Chains A and B, each alone.
Chain A
């Protein structure tokens, strides 16, 4: 008899799972700092290093900065002596296919290269991280709540549906 003997392989090819270790679903590497030029350089470095570790870089983007105003008071009063505006810039690299034992090595390398005054946060991706990039849409939320309210027995009774 010619061809494959295994009946499961008769009509479909075999998809081999090449993953050696268990993987994290999605990892967000977030860098924050007061100066965005070194921050962007470091973002590029994170991207490059992740590729060298054979991680998949899903996305690499900038998020709106957080702005603060620093005030100094005159001694023994709340009279403002000086004030200064500054921004904390925010860049994120999103990774996938990160084998669990490799993440520690990756963060170790990032730690040794971390520029002055930059904070690095490594966390698992959540939906809130994605939502944070966009302006929340009040009208859309209202419509969604209205749709959800249709399941509420109180509302249904008031509508005369039950």
Chain B
């Protein structure tokens, strides 16, 4: 007998829980919208709706005008603590001899020339690559217009393209990485 009641009670419990397992709250249950109100005259209702929509739209427009605040960038903000005592860290201007000035000017010119040469190489590459591509596409168009259309289409399939820059050193052989963790401390805006 005892076991039987036990069993039935357990059955009951399972049955009721299975009914109540899913309980969902409507997101705006606490808002004014959820208080059931009396049915009102359709004309008045229309008027009220128009008024409310207009008010909300105006508020949204006003807020959009003023609300676009960029997230603060740490590397671009002034460090107040160090800015206060910046006078303590000012150095007297260095006096350079004529020779030093000359030497630096020559070095600067050399540097500029080297950068200019590199940029010229880049420009030449761009020019040659564009010319080669144009030529290839022209030939392709002459051979098969369908293939040309395919070749010229935006390749959206490749697009989130991620390229990792080189590392400072080659991989260290037999490197045992330490046991550790990364914690994301990015400022969250809710």
Residues of A within 8 A of B (CB): 21-24, 33, 36, 49, 52-53, 62-73, 75, 81, 85, 87, 89, 100-105, 107, 109-111, 114-124, 133-140, 143-144, 146-147, 149-150, 155, 158-162
Contacts and interface: CB of A to CB of B under 8 A. Distances in A.
A121 B185 contact: no
B3 interface: no
Contacts of A65: 73-75, 186
A134 B56 contact: no
In terms of DSSP, what is the predominant structure of the interface of chain B? mixed
A120 B162 contact: yes
A101 B71 contact: no
Interface of B: 28, 33-40, 45-46, 48-49, 52-53, 56-57, 59-60, 63-64, 67-76, 122-123, 125-126, 129-130, 133, 137, 151-156, 159-168, 178-187, 189-190
A98 B25 CA distance: 48
A63 B180 contact: no
A101 B152 contact: yes
Contacts of A109: 122, 125-126
Contacts, number: 180
Contacts of A104: 155
Contact of B162 (A36, A121, A136, A160): A121
A147 B60 contact: yes
